[in-house]
Each structure stands twice: as structure tokens, then as C-alpha cells.
A and B are shown apart, each in its own frame.
Chain A
């Protein structure tokens, strides 16, 4: 696999620090399941956090802190703690890595698509995060991404097939980070449907119809 489009530092930092909400975290973590290079960057960021933790001014601890900790340890039943398991062999033929597969509840072959019209399909992926909207998109080969209206940030991760946006080509594992400023017109490559995980800021109902209304005027 040859991933060309990676996570930005600011997105990765929010994830490393635990400041990224569930919807965005899902696409970030799914990209990293496919991308050793971003996992290395994540480790480096966690390493930076560890170095900062070493240098934190330690607080004065209550005199009995260790004694209390020790009493607590004595109450813990000694369990056989599992050492890290060896990684599973690759080549499972699965398309959705974790954590995505659990969220969808199935791999690609068993997805229950809803038609969007013009040959495109989607599945909404439920999360507990009201600030984002997460869905799988299936874009018919050679066709543009449908219903492409969004406000704010949008992350699109290719899981199968590929699309191009201007001169940029996005294949499996590639992630496109877009915001309001970027006029983009992603289009699936001919030959194969493109399956993407797309996360957008949850549309406010109010701005949503305004966007729809002015969209033809702005030619977005």
C-alpha cells in the first residue's frame, strides 16, 4: 500500500492529546490502522507528551499517598495479565479495519446501503458524538461525489477504489482534509466504485437550508 495523503499535525495532535471528538477520532483511528507512518507520528507525539509529563512540576503528595496505594494493590486479585499478542497475519481480505468495522457492524460485503440516487449509496454510522456526522459513501465508478454540501471541516478516507480531486489522486488509506475554503469536486475513478468514510461537522438545520439555498448562486 502506498498512502500519499496523511493526517495533518494539528488533527493528529488533537487525537494524541485526547481532544478530538468521537466522530473525527473514528476516521483518524481508521486511517492509522492502515498507515504505519502516521502511527509513528502518533508515537512521537505521545513521546513528546511523556517528555512534558517528566518535566511537570510535581505536586506535594499527601504523606500517606504511597501507603494508600499499597493497600489498594493488596486488594487487587493477581491476574494473569496478557502480554501483547502477536499481530494477526495480514491478507484477511477484510476491507474495513477496526475501529470502523465494529461501528458499521459488518465488513464491506455485508453493508446495507441506502440509495442516494444517481447510483450513489450511503450508510449513516451512529456515534454518541452530536457534533459530527459520520457515514460511508459508495460513489459509482466515474461519477462525482453526490450531495456535496458541507460547512466546516470534512475528512474523507478512501477504503476501496479511488477518487481524484483536481490533480490529487486518493486511493485506499488516503485521507482528504477539506474545509469551507477548499472548493473541491471529488470524482470516482472509472472501473471501480469508490467506498469512503466521510465525517463532517453535523449540519445545523438552520445553516443547512441556507447553504442549500445559496449553493446554486455560489456554484459550490
Chain B
């Protein structure tokens, strides 16, 4: 809640045209963050952020959104949305993820209006659920994917039962959580690198599964391949990703 009023107030000023946008963009958003992740855009050396604050800069908000974000940076933005309800931090997330979530939704629905609405639902959910993001369970992109996936499932009125980590019968992991969190941050970068080295036929199967919303048996039919071939492509792809992650240890 801390910091909500000033930001909201500044935003009203921007809306009312009384404050130049670039001033608001250079607000210091206090965050418990590690210092200076390499992809944090710092506009000027003279104003380098202190170890305990990250500047949500104009350059981050308006930069070419094709540049993959640093996962540490995205996690900090999301944390700021959760703890401060920071609209500026949310805008940075929106500018990067909204067009991608909209593409994702359009792949299945093929309808611009529906894709737009499902994208908006997804991003509202990101805003509302920001405090539930658990860096131990994955990075921000993975988390936003799961929200988009669940909204798409709801839209098609399907059900997807899920486990509940708070259930007394749930069997937890022994790995200490600080270690898990560290692993997850590393995993994000390693996964991205490993994905880039997958053979096209394996990557194609993963894309179809995640984006076209079809089961692996449907993919086999679509590609005119035996089911076993598709299964082995899936297995090979994940073996490769897993060994990339294990190489870290």
C-alpha cells in the first residue's frame, strides 16, 4: 500500500496534462532488489540507482519491446505491483507482455475481439494476483503464461484440476527455498538459451502444444506423423532442456 497514493496522484496529474510524462517516468520506485541487474536500463550514469532502488525509467517503458527482458527486472517490477500497487511498474509489464499475450490468445481463437478481451482479462489478473507470484515456482514469463493458459481454459469452459501446495496431504520438497529461488532465476536464462538450440522439429511440437492448444495426439494427426514420433520429439526436447538445467549444478 505504501507509495500508492503518491503514484496515483502523479498519474492523475499526467492524465490531467499537468505533469510531463518523462518526469513521472523517472520516479524512483523503492524495491528490495539486488543491485543493478545488467538489463536494468539506467538512463544516465550520473543518476545510477542506489543498491536498494530501481529506476523505472522512460527508456524501459518505451524501449523496443522485442528485447527480451531480464527476468530479475521483471520480477522486481511485479514485486512493486504487489507491494506498492505501482501503476508505472505495471505499465512496463503491460508494454512487454500484453502484445505477446494477445498473440497467444489469437493463435487459438483466431478472433481479434476475443483475443483482445482475453488479453485484458489476463493482464487484470496479473495486476490482482501479483502478490501470489512465487519466484520459487518459476519466472515471471512462466507465471504469466500459466495465467493466460488458465484464462483460455476457462474461456472454453474446460476444467483443469490442480494440486494445492497448502493441502495438508501435499508432499513438499526438501530443497531449501532460498536455493530454489536462486535456481529459478538461473533456470530462466538457461532455459531461454537451451530453447534456442532445439532442433526446429522439436521446437515446432512444443509451440503447437503451448500455443495452438492441441494435445500431442492431435499434433501427430496434424503433422501426419506416427504418435511415437511426436512422443519421442517431446522426450528429446525435454531431455535437452533438463540437461541444460542440470549442467548448472
Residues on A lying within 8 angstroms of B by beta carbon are: 1, 8-10, 13-22, 25-26, 29-30, 32-36, 39-41, 43-62, 65-66, 68-70, 72-73, 76, 78-79, 81-85, 87-90, 92, 94-99, 101, 103, 127-129, 173
Contacts and interface: CB of A to CB of B under 8 A. Distances in A.
Contacts of B90: 73
Contacts of A22: 158-161
B85 interface: yes
Interface stretch (B24-32, B37-45, B51-59, B184-192): B184-192
B98 A36 contact: no
A15 B100 CA distance: 21
B124 interface: yes
Given A44-B238, A59-B102, A61-B98, A87 B145 contact: no
A122 B13 CA distance: 66
A54 B211 CA distance: 13
Given A10-B230, A85-B166, A36 B129 contact: no
B201 interface: no
Which secondary structure dominates where chain B touches chain A? Answer: helix
B170 A50 contact: no
Given A18-B150, A22-B158, A73-B124, A94 B168 contact: yes
Contacts of B153: 18
A146 to B, nearest CB: 26
Contact of B170 (A70, A76, A82, A88): A88
A19 B153 CA distance: 9
A90 B171 contact: yes
Contacts of A70: 11, 87, 91
Contacts of B85: 78
B144 A53 contact: yes
Given A43-B137, A46-B142, A52-B195, 13 more contacts: A17-B213, A18-B160, A36-B175, A43-B184, A47-B187, A51-B192, A53-B141, A54-B100, A79-B128, A83-B131, A87-B170, A94-B168, A97-B169
A76 B195 contact: no
Nearest to B163: A33
Interface residues of B, number: 91
Contact of A54 (B68, B138, B158): B68
Which 5 residue pairs spanning A and B have beta carbons closest together?
A: A50-B141, A58-B99, A50-B142, A92-B168, A99-B161
A79 B130 CA distance: 12
A97 B163 contact: yes
B50 interface: no
A89 B168 contact: yes
A1 B169 CA distance: 13
A61 B102 CA distance: 9
B165 A87 contact: yes
Contacts of A79: 128
Interface in B141-187: 141-146, 148-150, 152-153, 158-175, 184, 187
Given A50-B143, A52-B195, A13 B170 contact: no
B242 interface: yes
A89 B65 CA distance: 43
A51 to B, nearest CB: 5
A69 B120 contact: yes
Given A55-B68, A85-B166, A98-B167, A21 B234 contact: no
